[in-house]
Amino acid sequence: MPELRRDPIVGRWVIISTERAHRPTDFRQVLPPMPAQPLCPLCPGNEAQTPTEILAYRSSGGAPNTPGWSVRVVPNKFPALQIEGELGREGIGFYDRMNGVGAHEVIIESPDHKASLASLSEKHLEDVFWAYRDRILDLRKDSRLRYVLIFKNHGAAAGATLEHTHSQLIALPIVPTNVLNEIAGCQEHYKEKERCIYCDIIRQEVADRSRVVGENAEFLSVAPFAPRFPFEVWVLPKKHISYFEESQKFQFEALARIFSDTLRRLDRALGSPPFNFILHTSPLHEKTGEFYHWHIEVMPKLAQVAGFEWGTGFYINPIPPEDAAAFLRDAEI
């Protein structure tokens, strides 16, 4: 029989539709490659094809905007928001508006055009996380900005327009509604129980283990109890910490290990599926230390969001998270 499950953080319901149940192997992808590009602007040697770099890691030195980098951050050539200007908040009758002030950046994760996050060494993946941290800390100095969203679209079906592995950063002058809803759920739980809801989730998942995908001393990789999508995975720090950018070196080392393990399991089990991941962290200038817990959500693009989902806010997932977690645990990597 189908089952309704409620996400305890935001109160969102999902339907685990066993009537539509697939075997885990049915989700394995055979996808056409992305269209060939005559000139990849993200490859070494083509630095002049991007805006001037904001940040780059070069182990042997070298001039900015030249080859020799391992991770490089540049402004998006077609930005959703721009860093220059004033917010210009105003009311137009009953409506509100402001100028599109913010930042939109591209984190080029490797100089290798054919690399993926799953194929990077753990040390290289750690450097990608350091780049995220460095950019958040820099943008936090700008009092106009209130939230930094870091996300990745991997594969054409997940929204990627360039094959070269990269993620994106958008800094916003407002806190997004999804983030506000998540924070409100965490705050309500803390008011009632004086505990972080994510810490409670971690304790229960470690005790239960049926939805655990991977684990090390600092992090847990888990299929959430009420997943919106098949093979959705969350990566959570075991120790309570609200701001991603305040993580320490040993935590980034451990994050690189478990994130690499998680992505390689998804690749092995599902045939390198397209996916999105989103870094959930606290707003830049709000005090959420007691009740909010940063984490990363990975969502393979294996099912379509259609009219029912848009109309209800419910999601239909044809595979229970316990089955998905078991399948990922069993993947040989």
Residue carrying the six token digits 């685990």: 16
104 is catalytic: no
Indicate the DSSP class of residue 94: T
Quick one: which of 290, 285, 203 has its CA closest to 242? 290
Q: Are strands 315-317 and 13-16 parallel, antiparallel or unpaired?
A: parallel
Do residues 275 and 156 lie in contact, with contact meaning Cβ atoms separated by under 8 Å?
no
Distance (Å, whole) CA 274 – CA 160: 9
Q: Which of 104, 164, 166, 280 is catalytic?
A: 166
Residue carrying the six token digits 């409620």: 6
Do residues 174 and 146 lie in contact, with contact meaning Cβ atoms separated by under 8 Å?
yes
Nearest-10 crossing angle of helices 177-193, 197-208: 80
Distance (Å, whole) CA 297 – CA 278: 5
- Residue 212 is inside which H or E element, if any? strand 212-215
Distance (Å, whole) CA 119 – CA 114: 9
Three-class SS state of 218: coil
Catalytic (active-site) positions: 166
